[in-house]
Structure 1
Amino acid sequence: MSIFSPEISASSSTDPFQLERLAQELAIRESTHSAQLDIQDDASHDLPIYIPLSHENPFLCGENFDVEAFLLSRSHISVQDLRAELRDYLATLKEELVKLINDDYEAFISLSTDLKGEGDRLAGIKLPLDALKSEITISKAELRAIQDEVIQKLEQRTIIREEKALLHLLLKISESVTRLESLLSIVNPNQDDAPVEYERFKVSSTSNSLESIEERSPANKAKHLNRAAAEYTQLLYHASKARSEHCAFVDEIQWKIDRIQSSLSSDLDALFALTLSAMAGEAKLSELDKNKILPDLTECIRTYDVLGLWRDAEEILRSVMMRPFIRKTVFAGALSAPHSPLLPHTPFRSSVGSGFPNSSSSMPPRTPFTPFTAFSAQQSAFPSALGKNKSPYSRVLDDSDDPLAKLYSQILRFVERDFSSIMDIAEKVSIKSRTSTDPLQVGVLEKERKRDGLGFDIMANVIWNELGRAIMDDLGGMVFASGRPDEFRKNYEITQAFIRSLEFMAPSAQAVRTMRAHPVYSMFEKRWQLPVYFQMRWKEIVGKVEEALALPVEPSGKSTAITGTLITPQATAVWVALTACWSAEIYIPELSHRFWRLTLQLLSRYRVWLNDVVQVQDGNYGALNSVNTINTGKVSEANTRAPTPGLSERHSMETSPADESLLFKYVSLIADIKTLQSSMVILWREEICMLLPEPDEQDEGDEEQKPRDVLENAVFAISALVIPMSSTIIAMLTERCIVPLSAVKKIRTDLRAKAIKQLPTEPHPWIPSILRPLKVFFGKDGVGAILKTEYLELWSNQVFESVCEKYITQVSTLKKAEESLRRLKRGTKNTTFSLFGNANSKDDESKDEERIRAQLILDVEAFGKDAETLGIIPGNNDAFVALSNLVNNNEPPETS
């Protein structure tokens, strides 16, 4: 066995000494050696540098001397040279050490000489230090004693100063009490029985104060009480400071403070009630007093704000103004009783040029009311803007003849007449009482004030508190009539317009928010029972739809080409239900999400119904097709030639009524689907998108679909059912169009039966009848006339292609029959026969074949021209091109 590789073994016969192999190995070795030499030449061959030993050597200067590292660093020096070098370095060190000793020796000797006698000198210096230390200690003790005495004196003076300030504070409290008692004309009782006789003195002081106030001029009544209120607030401040110091004096005179508060509150309440009565027209005052009513009212409201008695002022407003009016206006029979007009003190201001629409303008169609939004920046001067303009929502009340609307209009006129100025004054007083001058800061403080329950809330606590309770208690059975949807919807719209108009009179946006957060407002909103209303509307809408879907699919009339008109009663009912969900007579904004879900449910229900109808009709049509096939098969078996035209027409007439009804149904359903699809786009753009609430910003990043996408998907699911119905219609039209093609099998018999043997010059008369069903279907009075614009081209091309394929089958069958007959005549002679070939024989059979071929060409050409009248381009249809090539013998004939 050879130890060399196969290549070497094969070449050994020609090269017994293997010289070539040796030459190759030598060349490889030399190339490798040269490469190594090149690498070595590139590397640097610097000679080692000799560095003598010195103090700067890193191995000698380190903290720890490493012998091995030192020896390795001197590895290029022999041991003898290293020993000599170390001895030289040692001699150098010794020489330097001796030099240092010689240099410092003189100073070292002089130091020892100079230190003689220094011990005695230090002992002499130490003796007076003890005496000095004792003197310093005595002085320090004396200074500390003086310091403690000074601190004690200062503390005593501080206590005396604080007691003096407290005494001054108590004097101020006493003087304030005396001054207030004088201002309020309070008679001081004996100190001993003061607490016992408190109630008696309280009553007497109140009556005396009222008499004293009455004696004063009307212009000074409110200012007098305002001055007393300012003095009283200072008294409370001083009393709180004294109480923090645990002064018994404050507890002793607390009954006087309470008496002053009671007297001031009683006088203020009496003056405020008197002023309100004058404003309401219940008191007879002179013209001078009437002109001073508003200043007095402003002073009273300012005094209430200073004292923090906002709820007391609101209670007086309720008892003096709001409650009597509510009792006279809102009662159990208020809606049936005639309403007397509430005349204002002055004529209503004109709304021309106010910036709001006048009463003659109409509200937006199909929109119940515009939801309330926050006040814009233009309404920063809220009282002045709203006090001069009329609410745009009040037109809903003014234009209605409903008793509830008239009642609400009367209430609005009352609020505008008697409460608008009061709310404006209260709002101005609250803003002015803020210490900040920045308008933005004032708004922040006002919100904090309202949130803490401070300040005036006249709209919420006075107007709406009384009004909301009265409506719920006295008119609840008639207003919240959830069992009567139409009346409920009307009352809800009128009430919401009333609330919006009432909010429009609010002095600020914060007042509106406070009103909406009031418990009575929450109770009022819950009384509407909107889910019950929606449930009744749901039954009403869905019930009508289900009744329509239960009816048979019978179009209401013959379909026309008028777009936008629904044909079937089912589609009409669904569309009526969809529009009813968003109509002004049914839709309520608070139920927008429920009506949106109902809209999607209606579309889904219509899709399910359409799907069931399509499945049932397809099943019936399949049964009809199977029967037709069986009947056709029997005829074919009874007679080998094609059925006569009379039999085909009679069979078509027998099945025509059922097919015509099915076509009419499917065309109506497709037209309704298209109309419903376009109508839903308009309904979304004009109504739904504007009535649906806008999504929250925090939900924008969610994966949930947008409402528009959801609606498009629902409509697309309905439109998808057009495809199976279109397929069925195309199949039925194709079946009708291929009936005349059965005459293709008779061409051979008819041409041979003629006595005159000549080439045909005209197509068969039944050629135009092939596409006649399609023309009739899309004709002016045809079933599919309404779909002509959208589906004529699409369906005609599909039917034409199917008919062409059937035509090819008939021609191929004719060719096979002719080949079989020729073979039968020629016997067993194996000849290649071409029905459409260019034969040169002059016999009768060749002439018959030529006549058949010419007749087929004429028929196909006429068929193509007839298809052009439907907008079909035959040259673009692959099936017609194949048919044309077949009759023109451009393709090899099929042989069995």
Structure 2
Amino acid sequence: MADPIPAPHRSATDLFSDPLDAHPLWFKPALFLSHNFDSESYISELRTFVPFDTLRSELQSHLASLNHELIELINRDYADFVNLSTKLVDVDAAVVRMRAPLVELREKIELFRGSLEGSLVALKNGLKQRSEAASAREVLELLLDTFHVVSKVEKLIKELPSVPADWSNGDVSLMDENSMNNGPSLQSVENGTNLRETQSMLLERIASEMNRLKFYIAHAQNLPFVENMEKRIQSASLLLDASLGHCFVDGLEHRDANAIYNCLRAYAAIDNTTNAEELFRTTVVAPLIQKIIPHWPAAVASGSSGDELEDDYMQIKQCIDKDCKFLLEISFEENSGLHVFDFLANSILKEVLSAIQKGKPGAFSPGRPREFLKNYKSSLDFLVHIEGYCPSRSAVTKFRAEAVYNDFMKQWNIGVYFSLRFQEIAGALDSALLSASLVPVQNENFGQGNSRDLTLKQSVTLLNSLESCWREDVLVLSCADKFLRLSLQLLSRYSNWLSSGLAARKMGNASSNTGTEWAASAVPDDFVCIIHDLNCLAMEVSGDYLEHVLQNLSSCSADVRDLVKQSISQGGKSLNDLIPLVINTIIDTLVEKSDEDLRQLKGITATYRMTNKPLPVRHSPYVTGILRPLKAFLDGERATRYLTNETRNELLIGAATVITNHYFKLADEAVTVAKKTESSLQRLRQGAQRRAGASSDVSDHNVSNTDKVCMQLFLDIQEYGRNLSGLGVDAASISAYRSLWQCVAPPDRENTIQF
């Protein structure tokens, strides 16, 4: 036995501190003994807040501790550990004794297992044979049922009259020879039952059997027995279709509601609604429609109503109510099972569409927009009328989903119609805006409605074009978004025409650009008309015009109407935004004319420098001409008639301010030049006197030329201020005038503006 390992030496320091094998708080060895311990997740959790090196050293320390503990356990129980091998005696014999019963048990289990497998195979074979027998029985029963149904159908068909005329009149007094072959029918007649109704009931019964037969055939495909009966089945089906067709037509001719009802149920049973709809179309609807819209060449050539459809639709509505309503009421009868038929679409609408295509093909042509729109609206009204026969919303939805309905709507090419209207409306405005000059409106050529207040043809054309987009004889509600966009484009085109013309005039190249020539030749009175028209157009667009548009869109949602209102109001605002540009253009024109008189101010300096004139006592003649263009413009007929007080004041203040600015610049320049010139002459004079030894006394030159110039300018601006007051402008309120006053006024009057 090995000597026990002595306990590790502990120093005095260890006695009063944590034991050597103590672990940090985050290290818990007990987790290693957990049954769901996962080393990877354990390490990944600790690595978030413990360094990897620290974790590794701690694990190694724990491993050393475990090894040490294992060695201590072995040393403690060493004797038992060594004696363990000596207690295992005769192990092989014990194994042999235990193996014998186990082998015997295994043989019995294998024998029993083989017996079970044999029984299982036999059972599976029996079940398979049973299943095959059941399948064969099902097929046999199916074939027998098919044979019985075919025989029954053939027997029932034989009971039908061989000639439709035998029962078409529905009279009880039939020919005696039919009694041999038509036993049940004769018995029905003897009982007083209507033959046509009896015949339809028999056809409904046959149709029900044929429906069963189709079910059996669908489950017995590719079987020789069924293939051999195929001819009999086809023959029975053809006879049923023919007899059912004759009975249905006869019921339609005599308006026998019971017979029609039974025939429709028969058609529904064999899933052959198309034949019923086509028979009704050809026997009842087609003759009526052809009388209204003939489509043979001679009748079409001699037609006097052209391609208009409104009167034709009126007659068709009357015919439907008189000759077709009875069948529609039968097919729409509640809980009748006849909802699978759609005589409105596949019989009536289909025949109407065919008749229009053959008899009046021009009705669908958008080449004549007015007639096209009239026919289109009449057609929509016709569709609404026949939808009125539908008993429910689902029936209306089914009617609109039919292929014939979609084909009918596709005939109306609304896209081409809008393109033609676009060219017509936009082209009219574009032609008016391409004019080389502004065209005034004559009294006899005023536009309609509020366009009577407009003064220019271009503005009248814009308003008429805007109104055309929403006229009853132009607007198609399904294209309302396109007409709204066209309206906004018209406003934008007019705004761009005006703004580009004003910009080109300001740049001086108006006459060289196509579409802006009018701006080069326009005079201030013309721009007055433009301001007036812009005010009228903005008021109309944001007022009555907007209300008219919203009224046409009353069926739209509130959100849509709000968006339309915002867009059109924005268009009206864009017109108002152009008014300041026009006002500035008028001001620039008036200032140019005033500058022609202001330029005479430059002659004042030369006059007093070249001559020895005395001090001035009155203003210069040019002053009275400075404000003459502005006064003449404001007193003119158009300005007096068309300008509002607000616009008039804006023009007056703006023009007066700009003219005064120009006046100040010229006066300031004249005074500056006069002072510089006088200073130079004074230096030259003083130099000459010093060279001549003369006295420097200049008492005879107490009043300089600069003083004379300033005095003349002072007299001029006083008169100019009086002229401004005559126009209603306070000169002292203009900063440029105050600067001008201080520039030329005597020192004692610089701070007091009085004239």
Per the shorter chain, which TM-score range?
0.5 to 0.7
Q: Which of 97, 103, 107 is 1:122 aligned to?
A: 97
Deviation at 1:603, TM superposition (A): 5.3
Q: Which of 353, 356, 359 is 1:474 aligned to?
A: 359
What does 1:525-540 align with in structure 2 at a 5 Å threshold?
Answer: 525=412, 531=416, 534-535=419-420, 538=423
The CA RMSD over aligned residues, in Å, is 6.2
What does 1:505-516 align with in structure 2 at a 5 Å threshold?
Answer: 505=389, 508-515=395-402
Q: Which of 716, 737, 740 is 1:880 aligned to?
A: 737
Q: Which of 726, 733, 740 is 1:866 aligned to?
A: 726
Deviation at 1:275, TM superposition (A): 2.3
Q: Deviations over 1:635-674 (max 9, x none)?
A: xxxxxxxxxxxxxxxxxxxxxxxx9982222222333344
Task: Report the CA distance shift for 1:555/1:787 in structure 2 as closer, same or farther (over 3 A).
Answer: same
- Which residue of 2 is the match for residue 579 of structure 1? 467
Q: In 1, Cα distance between the equivalents of 2:461 and 2:544?
A: 16
Q: Deviations over 1:832-880 (max 9, x none)?
A: 9799x9xxxxxxx9xx99999997897577456435x3xx454542123
- Which residue of 1 is the match for residue 252 of structure 2? 276
Q: Which has the higher helix share?
A: 2
Task: Report the CA distance shift for 1:874/1:262 in structure 2 as closer, same or farther (over 3 A).
Answer: same
Q: Is the 8 A contact 1:663 1:783 kept in 2?
A: no
1:100 and 2:100 aligned: no
Deviation at 1:175, TM superposition (A): 3.2
Q: Is the 8 A contact 2:366 2:372 kept in 1?
A: yes
Task: Report the CA distance shift for 1:549/1:406 in structure 2 as closer, same or farther (over 3 A).
Answer: same
What does 1:486-497 align with in structure 2 at a 5 Å threshold?
Answer: 486-497=370-381
Deviation at 1:517, TM superposition (A): 6.0
Task: Report the CA distance shift for 1:488/1:229 in structure 2 as closer, same or farther (over 3 A).
Answer: closer
Q: In 1, Cα distance between the equivalents of 2:454 and 2:210?
A: 80
Task: Report the CA distance shift for 1:492/1:739 in structure 2 as closer, same or farther (over 3 A).
Answer: farther
Counting matched residue pairs gives: 636
Q: Which of 510, 519, 532 is 1:671 aligned to?
A: 532
1:265 and 2:241 aligned: yes
Q: In 2, Cα distance between the equivalents of 1:719 and 1:210?
A: 95
Q: In 1, Cα distance between the equivalents of 2:587 and 2:252?
A: 82
Task: Report the CA distance shift for 1:154/1:601 in structure 2 as closer, same or farther (over 3 A).
Answer: closer
* Matched AA of 1:796: L
Task: Report the CA distance shift for 1:877/1:118 in structure 2 as closer, same or farther (over 3 A).
Answer: same
- Which residue of 1 is the match for residue 269 of structure 2? 306
1:322 and 2:268 aligned: no
Deviation at 1:568, TM superposition (A): 1.9
What does 1:356-371 align with in structure 2 at a 5 Å threshold?
Answer: none
1:184 is paired with a residue whose SS is helix
* Matched AA of 2:351: E
Q: Which of 642, 653, 657 is 1:786 aligned to?
A: 642
2:472 is paired with a residue whose SS is coil
Q: Which of 316, 320, 324 is 1:415 aligned to?
A: 320
Q: Which of 647, 653, 656 is 1:797 aligned to?
A: 653
Moved more, 260-269 or 330-339: 330-339
1:567 and 2:455 aligned: yes
Higher RCO (CA < 8 A, seq sep 6+) = 1
Deviation at 1:411, TM superposition (A): 0.9
TM-score normalised to structure 2 length: 0.64
Task: Report the CA distance shift for 1:481/1:676 in structure 2 as closer, same or farther (over 3 A).
Answer: same
Q: In 2, Cα distance between the equivalents of 1:121 and 1:486?
A: 115
Deviation at 1:312, TM superposition (A): 0.8
Task: Report the CA distance shift for 1:874/1:497 in structure 2 as closer, same or farther (over 3 A).
Answer: farther
- Which residue of 1 is the match for residue 205 of structure 2? 227
Q: Deviations over 1:224-246 (max 9, x none)?
A: 433332232223223333x24x5
Q: Deviations over 1:691-735 (max 9, x none)?
A: 799999xxxxxxxxx976995798589668526533434425745
Q: Deviations over 1:458-498 (max 9, x none)?
A: 33322222211211111124x24655444444334434433
Q: Is the 8 A contact 1:614 1:725 kept in 2?
A: yes
Moved more, 467-476 or 686-695: 686-695
Q: In 2, Cα distance between the equivalents of 1:326 and 1:486?
A: 25
What does 1:788-827 align with in structure 2 at a 5 Å threshold?
Answer: 788-805=644-661, 808=664
Q: Deviations over 1:131-178 (max 9, x none)?
A: x87777666656555555554444444444444444433333333334
Deviation at 1:314, TM superposition (A): 1.1
Task: Report the CA distance shift for 1:413/1:716 in structure 2 as closer, same or farther (over 3 A).
Answer: same
Q: Which of 546, 555, 579 is 1:685 aligned to?
A: 546
What does 1:137-216 align with in structure 2 at a 5 Å threshold?
Answer: 145=118, 147-186=120-159, 215=189, 216=193
Q: Is the 8 A contact 2:308 2:371 kept in 1?
A: no
Q: Deviations over 1:569-616 (max 9, x none)?
A: 233234333433443333445666776676566556656765686588
1:326 is paired with a residue whose SS is helix
Q: In 2, Cα distance between the equivalents of 1:269 and 1:517?
A: 23
Deviation at 1:328, TM superposition (A): 1.6
Q: In 2, Cα distance between the equivalents of 1:228 and 1:98?
A: 104
2:274 is paired with a residue whose SS is helix
1:546 and 2:431 aligned: yes
Task: Report the CA distance shift for 1:501/1:49 in structure 2 as closer, same or farther (over 3 A).
Answer: closer
* Matched AA of 1:576: N
2:455 is paired with a residue whose SS is coil
Q: Is the 8 A contact 2:535 2:576 kept in 1?
A: no
Task: Report the CA distance shift for 1:832/1:795 in structure 2 as closer, same or farther (over 3 A).
Answer: farther
Q: Which of 723, 731, 734 is 2:591 aligned to?
A: 731
Q: In 1, Cα distance between the equivalents of 2:70 and 2:711?
A: 139
* Matched AA of 1:297: I
Q: Is the 8 A contact 1:663 1:729 kept in 2?
A: yes
What does 1:42-121 align with in structure 2 at a 5 Å threshold?
Answer: 51=20, 96-100=76-80, 108=86, 112=89, 115=90, 118=93
* Matched AA of 2:240: L
- Which residue of 1 is the match for residue 514 of structure 2? none
What does 1:514-525 align with in structure 2 at a 5 Å threshold?
Answer: 514-515=401-402, 520-521=407-408, 524-525=411-412
Q: Deviations over 1:258-305 (max 9, x none)?
A: 3332333233222222222233xxxxxxxxx6xxx1x54333323222
Task: Report the CA distance shift for 1:424/1:716 in structure 2 as closer, same or farther (over 3 A).
Answer: farther
Task: Report the CA distance shift for 1:500/1:888 in structure 2 as closer, same or farther (over 3 A).
Answer: farther
Deviation at 1:500, TM superposition (A): 4.4
Q: In 2, Cα distance between the equivalents of 1:621 and 1:866?
A: 37
Q: In 1, Cα distance between the equivalents of 2:664 and 2:103?
A: 143
* Matched AA of 2:232: K
* Matched AA of 1:171: L
* Matched AA of 1:183: L
What does 1:280-299 align with in structure 2 at a 5 Å threshold?
Answer: 293=257, 295-299=258-262
- Which residue of 1 is the match for residue 698 of structure 2? 829
2:246 is paired with a residue whose SS is helix
Q: In 2, Cα distance between the equivalents of 1:214 and 1:418?
A: 30
Q: Is the 8 A contact 1:176 1:235 kept in 2?
A: yes
Deviation at 1:688, TM superposition (A): 5.9
2:210 is paired with a residue whose SS is helix
Q: Is the 8 A contact 2:732 2:738 kept in 1?
A: yes
Task: Report the CA distance shift for 1:214/1:606 in structure 2 as closer, same or farther (over 3 A).
Answer: farther
- Which residue of 1 is the match for residue 225 of structure 2? 249
* Identity, % of aligned positions: 19
Structure 1: tracts of 5 or more residues without a match: 1-43, 62-68, 75-85, 188-203, 280-288, 340-400, 435-445, 447-454, 624-658, 697-705, 755-759, 838-844
Q: Is the 8 A contact 2:470 2:549 kept in 1?
A: yes
Deviation at 1:550, TM superposition (A): 3.5
1:577 is paired with a residue whose SS is helix
